[in-house]
Structure 1
Amino acid sequence: MQMKQIEVFHAVYSTGSVSNAAKFLHVSQPAVSKVLHRAEDQLGYLLFKRVKGKLVPTDEAHSLFAEVSQVYQQILSLQKKARNLKSGTAGHIRLSVMPALGLNVLPLSIARFLEDHPGVTFDIQTRHYDDMIRSLYEHEIDIGLAFNPDNHVGLARYEFGQGEFVCVHNPESFPKNPDRLGLEELEGKNIISIKDSGPLSDLLFQRILQEGVSTDSAITVQTYYIAKNLVGYGMGMAIVDQLTAQAEGPGKTSFKGFTPPITYAVTGLYAESRPLSNVCQNFLGYLKQVYEELVQPAK
Structure 2
Amino acid sequence: MKLDNIKTLEAFREIIQLGSVTAAARSLGFSQPAVSRLLAQFEAELGFKLFHRSKGRLLPTSQALILFEEVDLALQGVERINVLAKDIRQTNAGQLRVVAPPSFAEGPLVKLVATFLTLHPKIHINIDSRTRPTVMNLVATRTADCGFGKLPLDHPGIRLRPLISSPTVCVLPPSHPLSAGKRAIGAKELAGEPLILVGHRGGDTRMRIGRAFQQAGVHPNVRLETHNVGAACALAAEGVGIAIVNELLSRRSLWTGVCIRRFAPAIEQEYVFMSSANVRETPLTEAFYLHCRAALSGRTRSKPREPRPA
Q: Same fold (TM over 0.5)?
A: yes
Shift of 1:251: 5.2
Q: Structure 1 counterpart of 2:4, which letter?
A: Q
Secondary structure, aligned partner of 2:221: coil
Q: CA deviation at 1:5?
A: 1.6
1:219 matched residue in structure 2 = 224
Q: Does the CA contact (< 8 Å) of 1:93 and 1:142 recur in 2?
A: yes
Q: Do residues 265 (structure 1) and 270 (structure 2) align?
A: yes
1:105–1:290 CA contact under 8 A, matched in 2: no
* AA at the equivalent of 1:280: T
The one of 29, 53, 56 aligned to 1:53: 56
SS in 1 for 2:219: coil
Distance 1:227 1:286 in 2: 28
The question of whether the paired residues in 2 share the 8 Å contact of 1:232 and 1:250 is answered with no
Cα shift at 1:20: 2.4
- Following TM superposition, by how much is the alpha carbon of 1:104 offset from its aligned partner in structure 2, in angstroms? 5.4
Residues 160 and 267 in structure 1, CA contact (< 8 A), matched pair in contact too: yes
Q: Is the 1:229–1:250 Cα contact (8 Å) retained in structure 2? A: no
CA 1:251/1:120 → structure 2, altered by over 3 Å: closer, same or farther? Answer: closer
Closer, same or farther: CA 20–73 of 1 in aligned 2, 3 Å:
same
Please list the CA deviations of residues 70-98 of structure 1 after superposition, one character each: whole Å capped at 9, or x if unmatched. Answer: 21111111111111111222111111123
Q: 2:33 aligns with which of 30, 39, 53?
A: 30
CA distance in 1, matches of 2:17, 2:269: 62
Aligned to 2:203: 202
Return the alpha-carbon distance in structure 1 between the equivalents of residues 116 and 23 of structure 2. Answer: 41
Cα deviations across residues 169-189 of structure 1 (Å, max 9, x unaligned)?
233242774322332333332
Paired residue for 1:134? 137
Report how far residue 149 of structure 1 moved.
4.5
Q: What is the CA distance between 1:107 and its match in structure 2?
A: 3.0
Percent of pairs identical after alignment?
26
> Is the counterpart of residue 75 in structure 1 residue 57 in structure 2?
no
Q: What is the rounded CA distance, in whole Å, between the counterparts of 2:148 and 2:256 in structure 1?
A: 29
Match of 1:115 in 2: 118
Instruction: Identify which of 125, 130, 143 aligns with 2:128.
Output: 125
- Structure 2's unaligned 5+ residue stretches are 303-310
Q: C-alpha displacement at 1:22, in angstroms?
A: 1.8
After superposition, the C-alpha distances for 1:240-275 in whole angstroms (9 at most, x for unaligned) are 121332223675321222333211222110102232
C-alpha separation in 1, matches of 2:107 and 2:26: 52
**How big is each residue's C-alpha offset from its partner over 1:153-196, in whole Å with a ceiling of 9 and x where there is no partner?**
02112212221111112332427743223323333321113243
Please give the TM-score of this superposition, normalised by the length of structure 1.
Answer: 0.89
Report if aligned partners of 2:198, 2:206 keep a CA contact under 8 Å in 1. no
Give the SS at the match of 1:181. Answer: strand
**Residue-pair matches, total:** 294
Q: Which runs of 5+ in 1 are unaligned?
A: none
Match of 1:87 in 2: 90
1:233 correspondence with 2:250: no
Q: 1:103 Cα shift?
A: 4.6
8 Å Cα contact 2:169-2:261 kept in structure 1: yes
Q: Pick from 171, 189, 194 the counterpart of residue 193 of structure 2.
A: 189
- Kept in 2, the 8 Å contact 1:242–1:296? The answer is no
SS in 1 for 2:178: coil
Does the CA contact (< 8 Å) of 2:140 and 2:277 recur in 1?
A: no
Task: Describe the superposition over 1:43-71 as per-residue Cα deviations: whole angstroms up to 9, x where unpaired.
Answer: 11111211221111112211212221221
Instruction: Specify the SS of the correspondent of 1:8.
Output: helix
The answer to whether the Cα contact below 8 Å between 1:192 and 1:237 also exists between their aligned partners in 2 is yes
1-structure distance, mates of 2:127, 2:150: 17
Q: Contact 1:191/1:215 (CA < 8 Å) preserved in 2? A: yes
The alignment's TM-score, normalised by the length of structure 2, stands at 0.86
SS of structure 1 residue aligned to 2:203:
helix
Taking the aligned partners of 1:8 and 1:138, their CA distance within structure 2 comes to 46
**One-letter amino acid matched to 1:190:** P
Distance 2:182 2:110 in 1: 33
